Structure 1
Amino acid sequence: MIKLKENNNFYVITGGPGVGKTTLLERLGKNYEIVPEIARELIKEQQNNNGKALPWENKNLYKEMMFDRSIRSFEEIENNTNKGKPIFFDRGFLDTICYAELIESEISERMKSYAKNWRYNKNVFILPPWQEIYETDNERKQDWKEAVLTFEKMSETYTKYGYNIVEVPKKTVSERADFVLKVIEKKY
């Protein structure tokens, strides 16, 4: 059984692809620690090494590697950081569970156990689909419809595991960062 871990200073910022997460996290990273997105790192690594763990190649291998690395990242941050100051994660390991649902892949008991027992702050910041800023790139190949579905599934997944969804408004990056920080200050 996986031991309970609660990290109230670990904040997840998530959402579908192309919603401005990276830009928001870059802004927050000026004053706070940021944990980069595992999925993008994994895709770049696999592309550079002609690997098969890619969402358009071997989705299940990609899912397993993404989950394992997300768990490892969570643990490393927990062991090596100041527990008092907020730390922002560009997606959490529950995003992998959402991905598994989207691709209709098995969600193992191990994955469920981590999701139930290793906890981020109860408030998860989610950025809604925003077509005016949406773009694809070498790591992001989803179309707009898939981006909207990902947002919906992400909200469902985090809610299912007991998190409060805090939707970040479609505003300037400064206003979005201020919104996130004000919510944290209130201990929402």
Structure 2
Amino acid sequence: MNTINNRFIITGGPGSGKSTLLSQLSDHGYCCFEEISRIVIQEQHQIGGDKVPWRNLPDFAEICFQRMSAQLLECTADKNCFFDRGLPDIIAYLRRRGCDVPKRYFKHSKQYNKTVFLAPPWKEIFINDAERPESFEDSMEISLFLKNTYEELGFRVIELPKSSIKHRVKFINNYLSGANDL
């Protein structure tokens, strides 16, 4: 299973601006994939299911793993792709709750570029909603688990600036154009 160098992850705790950034990257012509966990939570709410992170994290994680693995296959080699969270996020969330992590999650996590962009906790933009019931303090803790997990798995974590979406897009563009190993 080889890393495809054009598969980039944007990660971070809930409410750190990832989805908004992905929307802007899409508007700039990048291939972007939405957050699977948010979709699964919405589906579970609609059917009254319990496969949400705060009720049944292992089953929720498995659904996300299957769908995120399928997303990877949709990324073609002709342009950079950005993912709103990656498979290592599942590992971090499971670890945070003390759950076992299936070995295949680690294996499949190697399919991304080794550079990952982290949207840090940012109180001024943090908002709760039905798919994001965590507090800002939870978001800070999750962000730390994400950063540590990505680094442990050998990723280079690049923290995004706490600035406008326009500036964050420019930051990523500048990084990608100046990076030699992409």
TM-score, normalised relative to structure 1: 0.91
Cα deviation, residue 119, structure 1: 2.3
The alignment status of 1:8 with 2:5, answered yes or no, reads: yes
Identity %: 34
Are 2:88 and 2:106, in contact at CA under 8 Å, matched by a contact in 1? no
Which residue matches 1:161? 153
How many residue pairs match? The answer is 179
Rounded Cα–Cα distance in structure 2 between residues aligned with 1:186 and 1:21 = 22
Which residue matches 2:18? 21
The alignment status of 1:184 with 2:151, answered yes or no, reads: no
Cα deviation, residue 56, structure 1: 2.1
Rounded Cα–Cα distance in structure 2 between residues aligned with 1:45 and 1:22 = 18
State the secondary structure of the residue aligned to 2:124. helix
State the secondary structure of the residue aligned to 1:84. coil
Rounded Cα–Cα distance in structure 2 between residues aligned with 1:24 and 1:113 = 28
Are 2:52 and 2:60, in contact at CA under 8 Å, matched by a contact in 1? yes
Which residue matches 2:101? 107
Q: Which runs of 4+ in 1 moved over 4 A?
A: none
Rounded Cα–Cα distance in structure 1 between residues aligned with 2:69 and 2:97 = 20
For residues 76-155 of structure 1, the aligned pairs below 5 Å read: 77-78=74-75, 81=76, 83-115=77-109, 118-155=110-147
Gaps of 5+ in 2: none
Gaps of 5+ in 1: none
TM-score, normalised relative to structure 2: 0.94
Which residue matches 1:60? 58
Match of 1:32 among 27, 30, 42: 30
